[in-house]
């Protein structure tokens, strides 16, 4: 559900480390379900952009409740992704994306107690100015 709202139009940008390397890009997404959930039930993420497909091992998931690689998040049962909250996905791909508009496709599966809730969305997004990680930024956000 909420398919057309899953990919946020803002917050799509390359991420540059303190040492000047572009380590990947970020995007913001909403939840495809009618309530917030413990982070551990965010089961599967798939992002397709510029001819490449990225899945859980390449994705860091960040909400107010915490920031985790998807593989770490499988055990995070006591922090939540809220219903009204956008999550930031950081997709690790050295060099990031070219500075053109991109068709971005998202698939997401949430493990509810009575089955999987799927969501999918695709949108053409405009790359915003780079996000520069400064020395003080913690947690790899």
Partner 1 sequence: MGIKRGVSLYSYQQEYFLHQMDLEACIKAVADLGATGVEIIPEQMVNEYPRLSDGFLEKWFGWMKQYGTVPTCMDAFSESLLYKNRVLSESELVDLMERDLKVAAQLGCFVIRTLCTTPTGVIEKSLPLAEKYGVKIGLEIHAPLDLDSDWFKPYQDLIDRKGCAWFGIIPDMGIFEKFPSPLQQARAVRNGASQKVTDFITQAYIAGEGQDKVAAEMAKQNANQHDYAWLHRAYRTLYTSPEVLRKHKDYIFHVHAKFYDVSPDYQDECLDYENVVRVLREIGYDGYLSSEYEGNRTIEDAFPVDSVEQVRRQHEMMKRLLDA
In the complex, the residues that contact partner 1 under the rule CB under 8 A are 1-5, 30, 34-38, 40-41, 43, 74-75, 77, 80, 82-85, 111-114
Q: Cβ atoms within 10 A of the Cβ of 64, count?
A: 11
Cβ nearer to partner 1, comparing 43 with 130: 43
Cβ nearer to partner 1, comparing 30 with 60: 30
CB of 41 to partner 1, least distance (A): 6
Torsion of CA 82, 41, 106, 5, to 10 degrees: -30
- Work out whether strand 66-69 and strand 80-81 pair parallel, antiparallel, or are unpaired: unpaired
Cβ nearer to partner 1, comparing 23 with 121: 121
Q: Using CA atoms, how far apart are residues 72 and 40, in angstroms rounded to an integer?
A: 9
């Amino acid at each position: 559900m909420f398919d057309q709202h899953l990919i946020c139009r803002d917050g799509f940008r390359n991420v540059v480390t303190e040492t000047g390397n572009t380590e990947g890009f970020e995007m913001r997404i909403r939840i495809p379900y009618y309530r917030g959930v413990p982070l551990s039930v965010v089961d599967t993420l798939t992002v397709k952009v510029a001819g490449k497909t990225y899945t859980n091992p390449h994705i860091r998931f960040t909400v107010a409740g915490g920031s985790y690689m998807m593989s770490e998040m499988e055990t995070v049962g006591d922090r939540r992704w809220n219903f009204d909250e956008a999550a930031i996905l950081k997709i690790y791909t050295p060099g990031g994306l070219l500075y053109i508009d991109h068709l971005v496709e998202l698939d997401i599966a949430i493990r509810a107690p009575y089955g999987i809730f799927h969501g999918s969305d695709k949108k053409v997004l405009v790359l915003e100015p780079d996000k520069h990680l400064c020395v003080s930024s913690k947690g790899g956000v």
